[in-house]
Structure 1
Amino acid sequence: MKITAARVIVCCPGRNFVTLKLETDQGLTGVGDATLNGRELAVASYLQDHVIPCLIGRDPQQIEDIWQYLYKGAYWRRGPVTMSAIAAVDTALWDIKAKSAGLPLYQLLGGRSRTGVMAYGHATGRDIDETVDEVLRHQHAGYRAIRAQSGVPGLVKVYGVSTTGRMYEPADNTLPSEHDWDTALYLRHTPRLFEAVRLAVGDETHLLHDVHHRLTPLEAAQLGKSLEPYGLFWMEDPTPAENQEAFRLIRQHTTTPLAVGEVFNSIWDCKQLIEEQLIDYIRTTVTHAGGITHLRRIADLAALYQVRTGSHGATDLSPVCMGAALHFDTWVPNFGVQEYMPHSQEMLSVFPHDWRFDNGMLYCGETPGHGVDIDERLAARYPYQRAYLPVNRLRHDGSLHSW
């Protein structure tokens, strides 16, 4: 079998997605997600100008060799652009291999470890009362795990909360919008939020919260300790993780479980965090961490230290990524939870898929491959629209802060 053609499809059915499609001389095709939120065209160019010429004529069944070729052969290793491009190739190759075998992808990985995948939803509100209402709505919809985010009194814009009451989508401006931030206001407000939420939902529902890299290690430790009475499933991205040792300080002061990794792109970004058991959940994704091949390595390392997976799954990743992630989740023995932010109907129409959500659980399909394709004619109706993620500035002096 040989790869005979490859193309990059960039479309915007509500937000920008980058999709790689591979074709073979046996009529099999495979698709992979290469979306890098706010930097989509960088990955599209990397694929089109540098990767695709190296793929034509290769045997798509040699997944490991192609992965090593693209990773080591470029000399410039790692980084979000490179690893997202490699991930798209890798995911498409696994799609082809599973189709060739006539099996759903999870069977090639080793079969089922579970009947379904627990998902967590996003409950957001402009204030505590609105957030509580949204948490209860998710609970009634069957979610066993719910992420709660609330507006903070005194701040105009807060990550994860729409000012219009609609589903939150951060990449919504042709130039970066600017949010304001005040750590003291946030640290006073967040424990009050979870006191109200826990009182409303009871003890059985898992509650999660995303800090979004905005605290110092000591501030994160203070927040984690103040949230301990409410039994969080996890506190996500409490501090920037470029310095992995920073999590040691947080760990010394709180037993609130820690999750990190949606911005990671290789095993080296989380090696120390895992080996020193400084985190409880690793949130790397199929799309941003080099595909299924590399994500398996991260998950296997994590399993040695009782760290579980909790892959990022917001709509900055396409339904192709979700399809591949659910096959991975169905297999991986040290699964924790899967983030689920529903795609819009126009997004789902561009990406025909066989995975489904039901009563708080996600289920991969039984179609050979990962079960997701792209309708290229329909995708062409949604051309790329430049969009950026926001930036964050401290409200008292305007200095740039982590967003």
Structure 2
Amino acid sequence: MRIESVDVLVCSPGRAFCTVRIATDDGLVGYGDGTLNGRELAVASYVADHVAPTLVGADASRINDIWQYCYRGAYWRRGPVTMSAISAIDQALWDLNAKALGVPVHRLLGGRARDFITAYPHCTGHTVEAALTDAAARLAEGYRALRVQAQVPGVPTAYGVARGDEEYEPASSVLPDVEEWDTGAYLDFLPELIRATRDELGYGFELLHDGHHRLSPSQAGWMGRRLEPYRMFWLEDPTPEEDQRAFATVRSLTSCPIAVGEVWNSVHDCQHAITERLIDYIRIPVTHGGGLTHLRQILALADVYGIRSGLQGASDISPIGQAANFALDWTIPNFGMQEYMGYPEDTWRVFTPHYRLEGGVITLDGTPGLGVEFDEEAAARYPYEPRSLPVNRLRDGGMYDW
């Protein structure tokens, strides 16, 4: 089972995706997701120009060896572009190896450790009332966990809230897309949003919120204390994640569970936070975390220290990357929660998944591989459309974390 070709397919069916296709000399094909929102072409170049030519002729069954070759064989290691490229290759190898054996990937990972995967959607609104209406509708659909975001009064744009009546999609074709931020207004508003959510909808579900790196460590601790009475499942990304030790400050100030990691890409990015028990949930997705091979090692380390998973599942991870997340979710002992944001309708014309989302839970079937079909002819009808994530500026014009 020798690798015959490694190709990169970048398309935009509703939003941009970077997909890697590996074919072998015995006719097998595996697909992997390397989507990095706003930087898809950087990942595509990394794979096509620097890695693909070196893998032709390699034994596709040697997944671990190929991972080490891609990672340790490069002097310039880590970072989101490199690790997303490695992940796409790794996913494709797991996909085609499972297909060769006629089993789903989760069987190769040891089999199911649970009967279903609990998922949470994004509930949003331009007002508190609108956000609660959205949340109530999701509860009626059967969801057992909700992430709630709403427009901060006096702030013209808000992370997690759609502009106008559109579905929320953070990446924009407007370059640069500049948003305005006011930390004080957010600090005043969020406890009221969470209080209103519990007052209106009760405590019969898990409640989550994403701070999206907007607070200092001391502000995050202050916020966590204010949210403690409302039994949060987690407060996500309350402070920027470059300094792992910053979470020691947050931990010292609040017992509110903290979930971080979607911008981390390797075990070295989170080793201190895990071994010092500074966080409660790790959110690195398979697509950005070096693939199944590397992320299962990160999650095994997290399990030793009582930290659970919360893998990122926004729409800037393709259905293939989501399926890789789900394969881990089903098999690890320390599963916590799975984000599932959903996709534009055009996405389903290119990707056909065999996983099921019903009543707020995800289940997998016995489809060999990752269980997602990729229609290359359909993908060709959706040429790449450049988009990029926004940037944040304060009211005085100074740059701030988005």
The match for 1:238 is 238
Taking the aligned partners of 2:150 and 2:174, their CA distance within structure 1 comes to 25
| Residue pair 2:310, 2:338 contacting (<8 A) in 1 also | yes
Instruction: Give the superposition deviation at 1:174.
Output: 3.7
Instruction: Give the superposition deviation at 1:209.
Output: 0.3
When normalised by structure 2's length, the TM-score is 0.99
The match for 2:82 is 82
Q: Does 1:398 align with 2:401?
A: no
Q: CA RMSD in A?
A: 0.8
The match for 2:355 is 355
The match for 2:334 is 334
How big is each residue's C-alpha offset from its partner over 1:180-206, in whole Å with a ceiling of 9 and x where there is no partner?
111111011000001111112211110
| Residue pair 1:280, 1:307 contacting (<8 A) in 2 also | yes
Q: Does 1:203 align with 2:203?
A: yes
Instruction: Give the superposition deviation at 1:163.
Output: 2.2
Q: Does 1:267 align with 2:264?
A: no
| Residue pair 1:266, 1:290 contacting (<8 A) in 2 also | yes
Q: Note the 1:2-401 alignment, pairs <5 A.
A: 2-395=2-395, 397-401=396-400
| Residue pair 2:144, 2:206 contacting (<8 A) in 1 also | yes
- Structure 1 unaligned runs (5+)? none
Identity fraction in percent: 52
Instruction: Give the superposition deviation at 1:166.
Output: 2.7
Taking the aligned partners of 2:200 and 2:100, their CA distance within structure 1 comes to 50
| Residue pair 1:136, 1:200 contacting (<8 A) in 2 also | no
Instruction: Give the superposition deviation at 1:307.
Output: 0.2
| Residue pair 1:94, 1:105 contacting (<8 A) in 2 also | yes
Q: How many residues align?
A: 402
How big is each residue's C-alpha offset from its partner over 1:37-91, in whole Å with a ceiling of 9 and x where there is no partner?
0111000011110110011100110000000000011111101111000000000
Instruction: Give the superposition deviation at 1:25.
Output: 1.2
Taking the aligned partners of 1:356 and 1:168, their CA distance within structure 2 comes to 22
- Structure 2 unaligned runs (5+)? none
Q: Which amino acid aligns with 2:334?
A: N
Q: Which amino acid aligns with 2:375?
A: D
When normalised by structure 1's length, the TM-score is 0.99
Q: Which amino acid aligns with 1:134?
A: D
SS of aligned partner of 1:373 = strand
| Residue pair 2:14, 2:345 contacting (<8 A) in 1 also | no
Q: Which amino acid aligns with 2:122?
A: H
SS of aligned partner of 2:6 = strand
Taking the aligned partners of 1:8 and 1:139, their CA distance within structure 2 comes to 39
Instruction: Give the superposition deviation at 1:325.
Output: 1.1
| Residue pair 1:125, 1:165 contacting (<8 A) in 2 also | no
How big is each residue's C-alpha offset from its partner over 1:300-343, in whole Å with a ceiling of 9 and x where there is no partner?
00000110000000100101101111111110110001000111
| Residue pair 1:174, 1:386 contacting (<8 A) in 2 also | no
| Residue pair 1:87, 1:287 contacting (<8 A) in 2 also | yes
